[in-house]
Amino acid sequence: MRVTLIVNTTASSVTPRARVVIQKALSADHDVEVVETARRGHAARIARGAAKAGAEVVVVMGGDGTLNEAADGVCGTETALAPLPGGSTNVYARAVGYSNDPIEATGELLAALAQSSLQRIGLGSVNGRRFLFHVGIGFDAAVVEQVERRSFLKRHLAHPLFIYSAFATWFRHYEHDEPRMSIDLPAGEGREVFDDCFFAVVSKTDPYTFLGSRPLHIAPAASLESPLALTAFRSLGMGVTIGAAASALWKGRLLGRHPKILTRSHLDSLVIRGHGPVPYQVDGDFLGYAEELHFAYEPESMTLVVPIS
């Protein structure tokens, strides 16, 4: 099988030893080409070129941002995507079912390739940018912005850095007294509009992220097979926020019952409009500020190598 292995050497869990071990393991049974990313956006070009050249699988050893770019590159082709954990959190690889240790995950990947364990899945898109697991608009994007400003610490202090940035953002960098956005949802022949939202996440899979070994669930209905799911906060009061965090640690089922938290699932489209520019992040990468975000579900748009359960 022709395999292109994309490696982000700056990702927090990518080490020279792991790279050599993984390359040798893949090369034992497959024709492997290794390509390193050199800049932001490079993985998409590599993956797109590999698909055009006839690669059957693109394996990504890097973080969620690198994986997102590669997914955009193979989307709409027959080339399959396979994630190997190389970042600090590895949300998508773990959500799909791979181990968080890259060597163990490689063994799972090889077993999946041997049995052609492939699944055609849908992706989400926002303003034309595809995403694998979620887009955050508002508070969590502001947190990611603060983390990326201290990216030199991320390799060794990823989770403490996120926690510190969350508190710093809450108290100093994010306005949580006035609503920041409106959400326009299709509803049959009519529509629903909520103009009092402070923070929103549009999910394609569950969980939303991991805090160490603990998954945080805010959209339990989201899955590889489902369309989009929405979780939006209509208040950022301390009681709402603490209650939501507690629920997220316990499968997220209580979120949909809270009067100040809006949840919807099985959405094919929606539009979020900021009351002025709002920050947003895609699969953990901060993309800046926008006043209008158009979301769409793209069914059966990518082939994924899934571990054998």
* Domain chopping of the chain, boundaries: 2-116, 134-300
Mean pLDDT score of the chain, rounded to an integer?
A: 90
Q: Which CATH fold would you assign to the domain 134-300?
A: Tumour Suppressor Smad4 (2.60.200)
What is the structure's pLDDT at 188?
58
pTM of the model: 0.91
What is the structure's pLDDT at 161?
63
Query: Does the pLDDT of residue 236 top 60, yes or no?
Result: yes
Where residue 189 falls among pLDDT bands split at 50, 70, 90? low
| pLDDT tens digits, 39-79 | 889 999 999 999 999 999 999 999 999 999 999 999 999 99
**What value does the mean pLDDT take over residues 87-103?**
94
Rounded Cα gap, residues 297 and 275, in angstroms: 24
| pLDDT tens digits, 283-309 | 999 999 999 999 999 999 999 999 997
| pLDDT tens digits, 147-170 | 776 665 555 555 666 666 666 776
Evaluate whether 208 touches 216 at the Cβ level (below 8 Å).
yes
Q: Classify 2-116 by CATH class.
A: alpha beta
What is the structure's pLDDT at 29?
93
